[in-house]
C-alpha cells in the first residue's frame, strides 16, 4: 500500500480523524479550527478535570468561548485521557509544554513522556506532528528513533513532521487559520503529508527543507523579540538615569517610515515562548562548542527587569517617607500580558515574589484572573480586588504591572496616592506617577 498517497488523499478529503495531544493554549484553538473545517477530532490530555469540562462543552481559557467548545462537541469532538486510543486518529499533533528546569536547561519530559505514551499504539499510515517549541534536532534525534523502534519506517510507513505553533492569545487581528504555518518533514514524503495535514485548515502553509529548519525558525522568531525587548529594556534604564521618557523616544523613533520597528519596555518577559525559547538554542549551541553571548545578554537584561521595577517602587515609597517593608502594594495585572488570563512566566508574579520577600503587604486586581491560581513555583492566597476609590486610596503604592484594557487609568490616577507605571500607560507627567 502507498501510505503517502492514501494519507494525503484522506487529509485533503477531510475523511481523517485528527488527534490533538495536549489541550492547552495551543492545542485547544487548533482543535477548534479542525472541527470548524469539518474534521472529526479526538483530543488527548492527562488532566481529567479539563477533559470533563471540554466534553461537557465548557471552556477553561478565558479567550476561548464555551460556545465554540460546545459547537465542536456537537460536531463530534471528544476528549480523553486514554492514550491507548492513539491508534485511532490518522494524525497525532503534539501540543505539550517545553519549559525550562531550574538550571534554565530544556525540560523535555513532557514531549518525550508523551511520545513514549503514544509509540506503543502508533500504526502504519499515520502522521505525527510536533508543535512544541524546542531545540533544533529534537524531532530527528528523539522522536524519529522512538517511532522507528516499532519497526515502522518513517517516510514510508509513518510520517513525522515539525510545525511550530504560532499563537498570540488575545490578539483579535490573527487567528489560527490566518497565521501562516511553517512545516518541515524528516523526508520529502513527510513534508508532503505535513502540508496536506495543515493545508485544509491554515490559509498559508510554508514548507521548509527539514525539521531542523522548522525548529530553528520558531527559535529565531522569538529570539528576535527577546533580543529587541532586551535592547529597549536596557535603553529604558539609560533613559531613566538621564531623566528621559523612553516611551516618548520610542513614539518619536516610530515615525521613521523605514529601518525601525518599535519594541516596548516592561517589567520583564512572560508567556510560554519568549522568556524560554532562547535558552533552548543556547543550550544546544554549547554541544557545538558555541556560546550565544548576544542572546544570553538579552536574557540577563530581561530577567533583571522585575528586580529593577521593584527598586523603583522602593525608591518611590522612600520619597514619600515610607519603607517597602510593611507598605501596602496593590499590583494591577498579574497575567503575563494585556487582556489575557495566562499567568505563565508572568513578570508580575515574579515582582510579587520579590515584594513579598522584602516584607510588603500585597493585594492585586486583575479582571482576567479572579483568584490567584497556584503555579509550579508561585502561590499566593489572594483574590482579585475590585478597584474602588477606597481600595486605591488605602494602597501606599499602586504598581501597574500588566496594562489590561479593562482598567480605567484616569480613575486609577485620580484616586491613587502613588503609582509606579512599568508599562508606559501614562504619557503625561503627573505628581503621583513614577515611570519604571
Question: What class is the 210-303 domain?
Answer: alpha beta
Q: How confident is the model at residue 178 (pLDDT cuts 50, 70, 90)?
A: very high
Domain ranges in the chain are 3-209, 210-303, 304-436
The whole-angstrom separation of Cα 165 and Cα 39 is: 19
- Decide if pLDDT at 236 tops 90: yes
Nearest to 248 by CA among 427, 409, 413: 427
> Does the annotation count 190 as an active-site position?
no
Helix axis angle, 293-303 to 211-241, nearest 10° = 50
The pLDDT tens digits of the residues spanning 20-60 come to 999 999 999 999 999 999 999 999 999 999 999 999 999 99
**Domain at 3-209: CATH code:** 3.40.50.720
Looking at residue 178, the DSSP 8-state letter turns out to be T
Q: What's the pLDDT score for residue 270? A: 83
The whole-angstrom separation of Cα 68 and Cα 57 is: 8
| Whether the Cβ atoms of residue 132 and residue 95 lie closer than 8 Å to each other | yes
Q: How confident is the model at residue 398 (pLDDT cuts 50, 70, 90)?
A: very high
Give the pLDDT mean for 409-426.
Answer: 98
Q: How confident is the model at residue 378 (pLDDT cuts 50, 70, 90)?
A: confident
Give the pLDDT mean for 1-6.
Answer: 90
Q: How confident is the model at residue 377 (pLDDT cuts 50, 70, 90)?
A: confident
Q: What's the pLDDT score for residue 415? A: 98
- Decide if pLDDT at 170 tops 90: no
Q: What's the pLDDT score for residue 136? A: 97
The pLDDT tens digits of the residues spanning 105-146 come to 899 999 999 999 999 999 999 999 999 999 999 999 999 999
Q: Given the DSSP bridges, would you call strands 181-185 and 91-94 parallel, antiparallel or unpaired?
A: unpaired
- Decide if pLDDT at 373 tops 80: yes
Nearest to 94 by CA among 78, 114, 109, 79: 114
**Three-state DSSP class for residue 226:** helix
- Decide if pLDDT at 7 tops 90: yes
The whole-angstrom separation of Cα 12 and Cα 289 is: 44
Question: What class is the 304-436 domain?
Answer: alpha beta
Spell out a b/e string for 381-409, using b for 16 or more CB atoms within 10 Å of the CB, else e: eeebeebeeebbeebbbbbbbbbbeebeb
Q: What is the pTM of this model?
A: 0.92
Picking from 1-15, 164-178, 179-193, 363-377, which range would have the lowest pLDDT averaged per residue? 164-178
- Decide if pLDDT at 207 tops 90: yes
Considering 190, 239, 273, 397, which one is annotated as catalytic?
273
The whole-angstrom separation of Cα 234 and Cα 174 is: 30
Whether 3-209 and 210-303 share one fold: the answer is yes
Give all strands of the β-sheet with 127-130 in edge-to-edge order: 78-80, 40-44, 17-21, 91-94, 127-130, 159-162, 181-185, 205-208
- Give the rounded distance of the alpha carbon of 408 from its chain centre: 26
Give the pLDDT mean for 279-305.
Answer: 93
Percent of the chain surpassing pLDDT 90? 90
The pLDDT tens digits of the residues spanning 265-276 come to 999 988 777 778
- Give the rounded distance of the alpha carbon of 61 from its chain centre: 13
CA angle 201, 207, 210 (to 5 degrees): 130
Q: Where are the alpha helices (DSSP H) in 258-342?
A: 277-286, 293-303, 305-319
The whole-angstrom separation of Cα 340 and Cα 171 is: 9
The whole-angstrom separation of Cα 396 and Cα 394 is: 6
Amino acid at each position: 500500500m502507498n501510505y503517502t498517497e492514501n494519507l494525503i488523499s484522506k487529509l485533503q478529503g477531510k475523511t481523517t480523524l485528527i488527534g490533538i495531544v495536549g489541550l492547552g493554549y495551543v492545542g485547544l484553538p487548533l482543535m477548534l479550527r479542525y472541527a470548524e473545517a469539518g474534521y472529526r477530532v479526538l483530543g488527548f490530555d492527562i488532566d481529567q478535570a479539563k477533559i470533563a469540562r471540554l466534553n461537557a462543552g465548557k471552556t477553561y481559557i478565558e479567550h476561548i468561548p464555551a460556545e465554540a467548545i460546545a459547537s465542536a462537541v456537537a460536531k463530534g469532538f471528544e476528549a480523553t485521557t486514554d492514550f491507548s486510543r492513539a491508534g485511532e486518529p490518522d494524525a497525532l499533533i503534539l501540543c505539550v509544554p517545553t519549559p525550562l528546569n531550574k538550571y534554565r536547561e530544556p525540560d523535555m519530559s513532557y514531549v518525550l513522556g508523551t511520545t513514549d505514551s503514544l509509540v506503543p499504539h502508533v500504526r502504519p499510515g499515520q502522521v505525527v506532528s510536533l508543535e512544541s517549541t524546542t531545540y533544533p534536532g529534537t524531532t530527528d534525534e528523539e522522536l524519529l528513533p522512538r517511532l522507528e523502534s516499532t519497526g515502522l519506517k518513517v517516510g514510508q510507513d509513518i510520517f513525522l513532521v515539525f510545525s511550530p505553533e504560532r499563537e498570540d492569545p488575545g490578539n483579535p487581528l490573527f487567528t489560527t487559520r490566518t497565521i501562516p504555518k511553517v512545516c518541515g518533514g524528516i523526508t520529502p514524503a513527510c513534508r508532503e503529508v505535513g502540508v496536506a495535514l495543515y493545508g485544509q485548515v491554515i490559509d498559508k502553509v510554508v514548507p521548509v527543507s527539514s525539521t531542523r529548519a522548522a525548529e530553528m525558525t520558531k527559535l529565531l522568531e522569538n529570539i528576535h523579540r527577546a533580543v529587541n525587548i532586551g535592547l529597549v529594556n536596557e535603553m529604558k534604564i539609560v533613559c531613566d538615569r538621564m531623566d528621559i521618557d523612553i516611551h516618548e523616544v520610542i513614539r518619536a523613533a516610530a515615525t521613521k517610515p523605514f529601518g525601525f520597528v518599535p519594541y516596548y519596555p516592561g517589567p520583564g518577559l512572560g508567556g510560554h515562548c519568549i522568556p524560554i525559547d532562547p535558552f533552548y538554542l543556547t543550550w544546544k549551541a554549547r554541544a557545538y562548542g558555541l556560546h550565544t553571548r548576544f542572546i544570553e545578554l538579552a536574557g540577563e537584561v530581561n530577567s533583571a527587569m522585575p528586580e529593577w521595577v521593584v527598586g523603583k517602587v522602593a525608591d518611590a515609597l522612600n520619597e514619600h517617607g515610607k519603607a517597602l517593608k510593611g507598605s501596602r502594594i496593590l499590583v494591577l495585572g498579574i497575567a503575563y500580558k494585556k487582556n489575557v488570563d495566562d499567568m505563565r512566566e508572568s513578570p508580575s508574579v515574579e515582582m510579587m515574589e520579590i515584594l513579598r520577600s522584602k516584607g510588603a503587604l500585597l493585594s492585586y486586581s486583575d479582571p482576567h484572573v479572579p483568584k490567584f491560581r497556584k503555579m509550579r513555583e508561585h502561590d499566593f492566597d489572594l483574590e482579585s480586588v475590585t478597584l474602588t476609590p477606597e481600595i486605591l486610596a488605602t494602597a501606599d503604592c499602586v504598581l501597574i504591572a500588566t496594562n489590561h484594557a479593562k482598567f480605567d487609568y484616569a480613575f486609577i490616577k485620580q484616586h491613587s496616592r502613588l503609582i509606579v507605571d512599568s508599562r508606559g500607560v501614562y504619557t503625561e507627567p503627573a505628581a503621583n506617577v513614577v515611570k519604571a
